[in-house]
Chain A
Amino acid sequence: MPAEIYLNVAVGGMLTGLVYGLMALGLSVIFGVVRIVNFAHGEMMTVAMYIAVVLFSAFKLDPLVMLAPIAAVLFVFGYAMQAGLINPFITRPEHSQFMLLIAVAMILVNTLLIVFGPDARSVQTSYSLDSFQIGPLIVDATKAYAGGAAIAFALALFAFFRFSLTGRAIRACADNYTGALVVGLDVKRLYALTFGLGSACVGAAGAMLVMLIDVTPQIGPGYTLLAFIIVITGGLGSMPGALLGGVLIGLTEALAGLFFTPSAKSMFAFALLVLVLLFRPQGILGKRLA
């Protein structure tokens, strides 16, 4: 095999990894602030993917254009879920929160199954077969657009948390819950906002991913796991870490698929997770928790 193939696969894997990273960023933001592990993460992304499929097949709306509206829909969904369901569970033990989100995931997957059936759906845009040639490198156009959009979305989120007043208030809640209450922040509302923002990440990632892979109602749990792997590899609660972890996992999967059999590719992702958990439990860019 010529060397360019490895390079092409590696770049493709890294671009897909950026989309994974954006999805995982949602999980990381939610865990970093609300301290809830969203076990329905992949299932929420599947919902976003189906919204994109419906918009495309019914109205010919390009998922890249619909990225922001789909993210907005998921934001509302996430906000409502935190405000209505999860807020009473913040102080409950982990297994109780886990049960709650597992129940939500079960309802989401099977509702999709009832509405859309078990068949795979996909979105074929006019540019799905296009590619860019940069020197010896051939880059899939869809992957390039998706990777670029993922970076743009992540940067917007960074900027929000860094510079806006609300973003800083959310960070204050994450750093010191009691302190945030004392200075009069409406923590419950900020939590709902955070869960909404995390869900918006998932929505945007889903809109892009639907152009790269086929969607069935059953793919949710696999992506929930993938998001865990990425976030723990990069560092739970670290925003750049999530993107870095995504790129690493995307690269690992792509190369493992090339060198070994594609069906074994996620085994390498899990192996990476086990190694990281054992030797650097806080993740590559994470800070050690007290």
Chain B
Amino acid sequence: MMGRLLDGVSKRVLIGLFTVFAALIIAPLFANDYLLTILILILYFAYTGQAWNIMMGFAGQLSLGHAIYVGLGAYTTAALYVHFGIGPWIGMAAAVAVAVVCGAIIGFLAFRFGVGGVYFAILTIAFAEFFRIGFDHFKWVGGSAGFFLPVANYASNDLWNLRGNPAMFYYVLLAMTSGAFILCHILLRSRMGYFWQAIREDEQAARALGIDTFRYKMYAVVISAGMTSISGVLFAFYYNNLFPEQIFHISRSIELILAPIIGGVGTLFGPIIGAFLLTGLAEALHEAMNALGFDAPGAKQVFYGICLLFVVMVLPDGVWPPLKKALRLNPHESDRGKS
């Protein structure tokens, strides 16, 4: 098993991965609270981006409404916890189930009726917006006034109930991100992964070769939805408050997909690199603005937008593919066989 997992992965990549992983494990020992919060944010975006990437990067189905799965995951576990006292780990199973059903419905409707490309992307936005407004009027979970979890006691860590200090959340997220990375690595080299890539490159050709494209596109949506909902669970227990206007909003969906697009769509390292770069950039801009005493609202976002513009114009495939070349990593390793 272990041998197959590492099959074809070059030594340089392994050493690099191991170094980064080790650095991340010991990071909380050195980081202050501020830095830890940023690292949590980075891991959150890396994990969610990885989940989105399965659908878009592997199977080529552009979802612009992934906030729907984050929101459903968050609300499901939070509601079970507050109303019935059911803990987050059991709630997580329910959250995944809800998100999988929702993803299956969207996927089924879209793919059965042949909705694809831009139309599919806009359908996903429409569903997310529909849920946003729906939850605004869903009084059982607070409606637009928000839904609140009892605030954690930071003195002790209760992993079973996910009540604890940021370091605990950091390690849970690190485990999730690593798990997602390994899962995606396995998926990408599985039979299904090759089917997905065939569908991504040319769906008609894939179907002509006998791939049941409907079925494999459904698998991609369902796996991606289930994984994304888990980050919603973490979101709910980390922030302790949920507002439909925030969690289901289109800007949240966009935020989630920036990291994998900037990092490199369809690559394993893309979402992680993208999350580090974008979150780092946002924080650096924040610091720079503060240092310059320039605190007009929106100034930070203007620069952020300009940086995004610059990256998409200069690096059409994202940061990772050219970086991989520069680092002289084995081109056959794990990523899309485009290079």
State in angstroms the CA–CA spacing of A261 and B144 once bound together: 13
Any A CB within 8 A of the CB of B233: no
B130 near A106: Cβ-Cβ < 8 Å: no
Any B CB within 8 A of the CB of A229: yes
**Residues 24 to 81 of chain B near chain A (Cβ within 8 Å):** 56, 62, 64
**Residues 121 to 137 of chain B near chain A (Cβ within 8 Å):** 121-123, 125-127, 129-130, 133-134, 136-137
Any A CB within 8 A of the CB of B118: yes
B129 near A225: Cβ-Cβ < 8 Å: yes
Which of chain A's residues has its CB closest to B57's CB? A95
A267 near B302: Cβ-Cβ < 8 Å: no
A281 near B312: Cβ-Cβ < 8 Å: no
Any B CB within 8 A of the CB of A175: no
* A263 cross-chain contacts in B, Cβ below 8 A: 133, 136-137, 144
* B144 cross-chain contacts in A, Cβ below 8 A: 263
A274 near B309: Cβ-Cβ < 8 Å: no
Contact string against B for A residues 102-128, beta-carbon threshold 8 Å, 1 for contact and 0 otherwise: 111111011111100110000000000
State in angstroms the CA–CA spacing of A94 and B122 once bound together: 12
* B126 cross-chain contacts in A, Cβ below 8 A: 229, 270, 273-274, 277
**Residues 300 to 339 of chain B near chain A (Cβ within 8 Å):** 301-302, 304-306, 308-309, 312-313, 316
B308 near A99: Cβ-Cβ < 8 Å: yes
Any B CB within 8 A of the CB of A96: yes
State in angstroms the CA–CA spacing of A121 and B258 once bound together: 32
Q: Pick out which of these stretches binds chain A: B107-115, B150-158, B181-189, B208-216.
A: B107-115
Q: Pick out which of these stretches binds chain A: B165-173, B217-225, B291-299.
A: B291-299
**Which of A92, A113, A232, A270 interacts with B119 by CB under 8 Å?**
A232
* A110 cross-chain contacts in B, Cβ below 8 A: 298-299, 301-302, 305
* B125 cross-chain contacts in A, Cβ below 8 A: 225, 228
* A102 cross-chain contacts in B, Cβ below 8 A: 254, 308
Which of chain B's residues has its CB closest to A274's CB? B126
Any A CB within 8 A of the CB of B251: yes
Contact string against B for A residues 211-247, beta-carbon threshold 8 Å, 1 for contact and 0 otherwise: 0000001000100010011001000100000000000
* B136 cross-chain contacts in A, Cβ below 8 A: 263-264
State in angstroms the CA–CA spacing of A267 and B138 once bound together: 13
A249 to chain B, nearest CB (A): 13
Which of chain B's residues has its CB closest to A100's CB? B312
B250 to chain A, nearest CB (A): 6
A278 to chain B, nearest CB (A): 5
Any A CB within 8 A of the CB of B8: no
B130 near A271: Cβ-Cβ < 8 Å: yes
The verdict on A221 contacting B129 (CB below 8 Å), with A100-B309, A111-B298, A113-B297 known, is: no
Q: How large is the interface on B (under 10, 10 to 19, 20 to 34, 35 or more residues)?
A: 35 or more
Any B CB within 8 A of the CB of A163: no
* A229 cross-chain contacts in B, Cβ below 8 A: 126
Any B CB within 8 A of the CB of A179: no
**Which of B123, B261, B296 interacts with A99 by CB under 8 Å?**
B261
Any B CB within 8 A of the CB of A8: no
The verdict on A232 contacting B122 (CB below 8 Å), with A98-B64, A106-B301 known, is: yes
Any A CB within 8 A of the CB of B102: no
A104 near B299: Cβ-Cβ < 8 Å: no
B119 near A109: Cβ-Cβ < 8 Å: no
A182 to chain B, nearest CB (A): 26
Which of chain B's residues has its CB closest to A106's CB? B305
* B308 cross-chain contacts in A, Cβ below 8 A: 99, 102-103, 106
The verdict on A264 contacting B133 (CB below 8 Å), with A95-B56, A96-B316, A109-B298 known, is: yes
B130 to chain A, nearest CB (A): 5
Instruction: Known A-B contacts: A96-B261, A109-B301. Give 14 more (CB < 8 A).
Output: A93-B265, A98-B64, A99-B258, A99-B312, A100-B313, A103-B309, A106-B302, A106-B308, A107-B305, A225-B125, A263-B144, A270-B130, A278-B113, A281-B114
Chain B residues within 8 Å of A, Cβ to Cβ: 56, 62, 64, 109-110, 113-115, 117-119, 121-123, 125-127, 129-130, 133-134, 136-137, 144, 250-251, 254, 257-258, 261-262, 265, 296-299, 301-302, 304-306, 308-309, 312-313, 316
- A-B complex: 6 closest residue pairs judged by Cβ atoms: A110-B298, A113-B298, A106-B305, A107-B305, A103-B308, A110-B301
Chain A residues within 8 Å of B, Cβ to Cβ: 31, 37, 85, 88, 92-96, 98-100, 102-107, 109-114, 117-118, 217, 221, 225, 228-229, 232, 236, 261, 263-264, 266-267, 270-271, 273-274, 277-279, 281
A-B contact pairs, 29 of them (CB 8 A): A37-B122, A92-B316, A99-B312, A102-B308, A104-B305, A106-B304, A106-B305, A107-B302, A110-B299, A113-B297, A113-B298, A114-B296, A217-B298, A221-B251, A225-B125, A228-B122, A228-B125, A236-B118, A264-B133, A264-B136, A266-B133, A267-B130, A273-B122, A274-B123, A274-B126, A278-B113, A278-B115, A281-B114, A281-B115
